[in-house]
Amino acid sequence: MMLENQTLAPSDGYVTADGRQIGGVMMDLRNITLRFGGVEAIKDISFDIREGEIRAIIGPNGAGKSSMLNVISGFYVPQEGEVWFNGAKRPPTKPYQVARQGIARTFQNIALFEGMSVLDNVMTGRLRQMSSGLFSQALWWGKAQTEEVENRAAVERIIDFLEIQSIRKTPVGRLPYGLKKRVELARALAAEPHLLLLDEPMAGMNVEEKEDMSRFILDVNDEFGTTIALIEHDMGVVMDLSDRVVVMDYGRKIGDGTPEEVRNNEAVIDAYLGVSHD
Amino acid sequence: MSADFLYGIEVLINGLMAGVLYALVALGFVLIYKASGIFNYAQGVMALFGALTLTGIMSGQVPFAHLINATFGTHIHNFGWNVPALGAIALTLVVMVCFAWMVQKFVFRHLVGQEPIILFMATIGLAYFLEGMGDLMWGSDIKKLDVGLPQGGSRWVEDITAGLGGDDFYGFFIDKLDMVATLVAAILVISLVMFSQYTKQGRAMRAVADDHQAALSVGISLNYIWILVWSLAGLVALVAGIMWGAKSGVQFSLSLIALKALPVLMLGGFTSIPGAIVGGLIIGVGEKLFEYLIGAPFLGGATENWFAYVLALIFLVFRPQGLFGEKIIERV
Ligand SMILES: Nc1ncnc2c1ncn2[C@@H]1O[C@H](COP(=O)(O)OP(=O)(O)OP(=O)(O)O)[C@@H](O)[C@H]1O
Ligand SMILES: [Mg+2]
């Protein structure tokens, strides 16, 4: 079944259920196929992410969701298909270059700098904003100094925003899981990304932590206008947060549309109820 | 105060000074190991190569002279100029940075994700290559390195400390070159620590040392950081090479200063900058004091070469993770 928004022209926007204006296509994935040896993790998938929206990717374990995020962030290079970003086809791009283009991410298994403090972790997120060169940095000259001060201020704002002031100086390795997830989000936000990719930001959290995280995600989208693509297993959360949902199963796309549409989609229901695939 | 006690203090001071230099050499290893997991066997040869290049540039030697002459039947050996020490050091640094770039471009870029033992083997290859390269570029004769550092014992220290003891004490004998070396090494060590703590490249270096994936995700180019750490290791090697070379001439044995860093690393851990510093000081003081108190009187002397390793081994048995390393608890 084809869904309503697929007929939308790339440059058109739409208005969400809660009245937010969504813009044109920012990230366009066209016929992506990704293989690991004999395993096809992604099979000919196309979908887009629009300016200002919260886009969810859902699907059972091993469906290829994380792989999809890794393709967007440059960690995986698909064998087939094209990635279009801001209206231009993206040539093969290294993960660090993708990051510098304003695409920040978190990881399913949390990838923080465990030995560094929360503050330092979040500061690394600002590397993109720091343009002073090696020598002025080494000698702590003019621009390097003002830059550091400005970035500290920006980082403190993010730390306040995510309510982690009390652990600013704590080495990340000592934090409990839920807080680590939050620090990882803080680091991603510090980059002031255009597109934020979150791989299961609420996995392993209790109800209260999930509520906090949902609130942060909505606030980020609302206050900074950040476009967000997230992977989530908790259907309740997905329904609450997202504007549009892509559903994957065994590397294929089996649904794409508003949460409402997806929930009533036959194939999606089958996939989640585990109807056999023959 | 008794003269014996005061001479003991003199030994201690000399030990501390030697320790700072050991710490510096060990830091060269730590920088690369932390950022890339590579144990750089070539660190000592880099010191030799740096010192060779410096003497070569200072005396206006033509690099690859032998090769050029053999190929073209020419007889050139010298440009006929002398480059002042500071200029030559700057040029040598450029050479070391080029070396860092080449190492990354032609070797380790292609070995990303390989087993540590393979990376280690690659650095052994690199060590012998660089040694041969040094020979080829600058010749294999022993050279004198004179960058204008003071030599000999410091009269000044001797005079003002002579009053501390009685008639049988003549003041501390402290070598001027050692003093300068200590000062330079200390400044370099402190600068490296500041650089890694308070600059964006330093932060990026620490980030890469901690988690490659995470570093990539915030826009850090691993390649760039690896060239940076190899360059810094080159700088450290050059400084160590200058200090040692000024003392005992530039010759192959200079590359053995790396051996002095190994016990320091065993003690301080391979990944800890404070560990390298404190470890260096402990080894420096330990080996000098042992020689003074036990080695020379009872064991016939010359214990300095092996005592550091015994100290490190004993330490290793009780604290395998090094001075400042986290305790490793196997998860089952
Ligand atoms: N680096 C890799 N090397 C080999 N196979 C991989 C790799 N990454 C993913 N895969 C395979 O690709 C398929 C999709 O994995 P992926 O992690 O994208 O699934 P997912 O939808 O994120 O699952 P989950 O909900 O468990 O996180 C799986 O079969 C997985 O084993
Ligand atoms: Mg996943």
Query: Alpha-carbon distance A207 to A234, whole Å?
Result: 11
Residue B45 within any structural domain of the chain: yes
Kindly state if the Cβ of A41 falls inside 6 Å of ligand 1. yes
User: Which of A35, A36, A235, A238 should be mutated for ligand 1, with most atoms under 8 A from CB?
Assistant: A36
User: Inter-chain contact B199–A127, Cβ cutoff 8 Å?
Assistant: no
User: Inter-chain contact A148–B198, Cβ cutoff 8 Å?
Assistant: yes
Task: Tell the burial category of B218 from Cβ atoms under 10 Å away from its Cβ (0-12, 13-18, 19+).
Answer: buried
User: Inter-chain contact B216–A124, Cβ cutoff 8 Å?
Assistant: no
Q: Which residues contact A16 (CB under 8 A, 6 or more apart)?
A: A22, A53, A243
In the structure encoding, which two tokens stand for residue A194, read together? Answer: 């255009």
Min mean pLDDT across A83-92, B93-102, B131-140, B161-170 is at: B161-170
Query: Which one of A96, A115, A148 has the shortest CB-CB distance to B221?
Result: A96
Query: Alpha-carbon distance A14 to A17, whole Å?
Result: 10
Residue B282 within any structural domain of the chain: no
Kindly state if the Cβ of A271 falls inside 6 Å of ligand 1. no
Query: What pLDDT, on the 0 to 100 scale, is given for residue A1?
Result: 37
User: Which of A42, A66, A200 should be mutated for ligand 1, with most atoms under 8 A from CB?
Assistant: A66
Residue B89 within any structural domain of the chain: yes
Residue B64 within any structural domain of the chain: yes
Residue B119 within any structural domain of the chain: yes
Query: Which one of A107, A116, A137 has the shortest CB-CB distance to B201?
Result: A137
Residue B22 within any structural domain of the chain: no
Residue B325 within any structural domain of the chain: no
User: Inter-chain contact A124–B203, Cβ cutoff 8 Å?
Assistant: yes
Distance between the two ends of chain A, CA-based, in angstroms? 19
Contact B174, B153 (CB under 8 A): yes
Kindly state if the Cβ of A276 falls inside 6 Å of ligand 1. no
Triad B191, B195, B199: Cα angle to 5°:
150
Instruction: Choose the mutation target among B213, B217, B226, B227 for the interface with A, i.e. most A CBs under 10 Å.
Output: B217
Average pLDDT over residues A41-50: 96
Contact B37, B119 (CB under 8 A): yes
User: Inter-chain contact A132–B214, Cβ cutoff 8 Å?
Assistant: no
Contact A260, A243 (CB under 8 A): no
Specify the number of domains making up chain B: 1
Q: What is the pTM of this model?
A: 0.87
Q: How many CB atoms lie within 10 A of CB A150?
A: 13
Query: What pLDDT, on the 0 to 100 scale, is given for residue A195?
Result: 97
Q: Give ipTM to 2 decimals.
A: 0.89
Query: Alpha-carbon distance A269 to A124, whole Å?
Result: 42
pLDDT in tens, A77-105: 999 999 999 999 999 999 999 999 999 99
Domain architecture of chain A: domains with CATH = 14-273 (3.40.50.300)
Percent of chain A with pLDDT over 70: 91
Residue B327 within any structural domain of the chain: no
User: Which of A33, A35, A57, A65 should be mutated for ligand 1, with most atoms under 8 A from CB?
Assistant: A65
Per DSSP, helices labelled H in B142-272 are 155-162, 176-198, 200-210, 212-217, 222-248, 257-268
Residue B138 domain boundaries = 31-260
Average pLDDT over residues B210-232: 94
Kindly state if the Cβ of A34 falls inside 6 Å of ligand 1. no
- H or E element, residue A25: strand A25-36
Contact A234, A210 (CB under 8 A): yes
